[in-house]
Structure 1
Amino acid sequence: MAKIEKLNAITLATHDMARSVAFYRSIGFDVAKGGETAAFTTLAAGEDALNLILAAPDVPLRWWGRVILFVDDVDAMHRAVVDAGYSPDFAPSDAPWGERYFHVTDPDGHEISFARPLSR
C-alpha cells in the first residue's frame, strides 16, 4: 500500500470570498493565488496551504471539524485575533493533552484552533 507523505492543503467553503480572505489575512495568512474576487483562493502559511472555494449561496455550510494551526505564541495570536475585531470562543488555556490553545470561528462557521505544545 502507498503511504501518505504529506497533507497538501485543506479547502474550506465560503459564501463571501472577500470577507474570508480578509479574515485569514488578519490572522497571518498570505494570499498565494486568487484573492477577494476569485472563486478559489490559496492562502499560504510557510510551506503549507489553506484553500477557500466559493460556494453557491444555497449550499449550506456546516460544521465538519476544525483546522489546527501551530503558532509560536498562542497568547500573542489570541491578542492579534481580538485586535483584528474577532471574538475567540475562549481565552488561551492549557489542555490536558499537552497543548496551549484557543479556538476562533471564521465568518463561515469553520472552527480554527491555534495551539502550541506545552514545554516539558
Structure 2
Amino acid sequence: MTPRFDAIGLVVSDMAASVAFYRRLGIAFPAGAADEPHVEAQLPGSVRLLLDTEATIRSFHADWRPPTGGGSRSGLALRCDSPAEVDSVYAEMVDAGHHGELKPWDAFWGQRYATLHDPDGNGVDLFAPLPAAE
C-alpha cells in the first residue's frame, strides 16, 4: 500500500470569509459552504481543498491551538495563465480588501510571482511563467 496525495487542509477562523476569499480566486465551494464547519472543493488534478473551522478541529483535538510566532501558517500556489493575469488577480484581491504580502515581480527563477494572505494569514502565491528571453 502506498499513500497518495489527496487533499490540502486548512484550519480557518472565519469560514464565511475564507470561502469568499477562495471563491474570488476561482475555487468552487458548494452553495451554503460559508455556514458549514467543514467544506471541500474539488481542485484540478483530483486534489481537494478542505476547510475546517477551529471549533471543528477542537471537537476531536481539544488541545489544538493556532500556530504562533509570525509568518503564514501554510501556503498554496495558484498558477495563472500569464504574467498579466498575476498582476490583475493580485490587484483585484487587494482592491477587495485582502492583504497583499508581496507585490507582483519578475522572479529570478523565471516566473511572475506575487503573494497574498487569506483571512487567516495563510500565504497564497500567484505565479505564471515569464516569456523566454530571446
TM category, shorter: 0.7 to 0.9
Aligned residue in 1 for 2:96: 84
Q: Say if 1:34 and 1:41, in contact at 8 Å, map to a contact too.
A: no
**CA 1:3–1:14 in structure 2 vs 1: closer, same or farther (change >3 Å)?**
closer
Q: Which piece of structure 1 moves more, 75-84 or 41-50?
A: 41-50
Aligned residue in 2 for 1:40: 38
Q: Please give the alpha-carbon distance, in whole angstroms, between the structure 2 residues aligned to 1:9 and 1:117.
A: 25
Deviation at 1:116, TM superposition (A): 0.6
Task: Output one character per residue of 1:7-62: Cα deviation in whole Å (capped at 9) or x when no partner.
Answer: 43211111211111111112221114760111211134445532111113872145
Q: Where has structure 1 moved over 6 Å in runs of 4 or more?
A: none
Cα root mean square deviation, aligned: 2.5
Q: Say if 1:17 and 1:39, in contact at 8 Å, map to a contact too.
A: yes
Return the TM-score normalized by structure 1.
0.81
Q: Say if 2:8 and 2:49, in contact at 8 Å, map to a contact too.
A: yes
Q: Please give the alpha-carbon distance, in whole angstroms, between the structure 2 residues aligned to 1:3 and 1:9.
A: 12
Unaligned runs of 5+ in 1: none
Deviation at 1:93, TM superposition (A): 0.3
Bigger Rg, which one: 2
Paired residues in the alignment total 118
Identity rate of aligned residues, in percent?
34
* 1:53 partner amino acid: D
- Is 2:86 the counterpart of 1:94? no
- Is 2:61 the counterpart of 1:55? no
Return the TM-score normalized by structure 2.
0.73
**CA 1:61–1:53 in structure 2 vs 1: closer, same or farther (change >3 Å)?**
farther
Unaligned runs of 5+ in 2: 59-63
* 2:95 partner amino acid: D
Q: Please give the alpha-carbon distance, in whole angstroms, between the structure 2 residues aligned to 1:51 and 1:33.
A: 15
Q: Please give the alpha-carbon distance, in whole angstroms, between the structure 2 residues aligned to 1:89 and 1:82.
A: 10
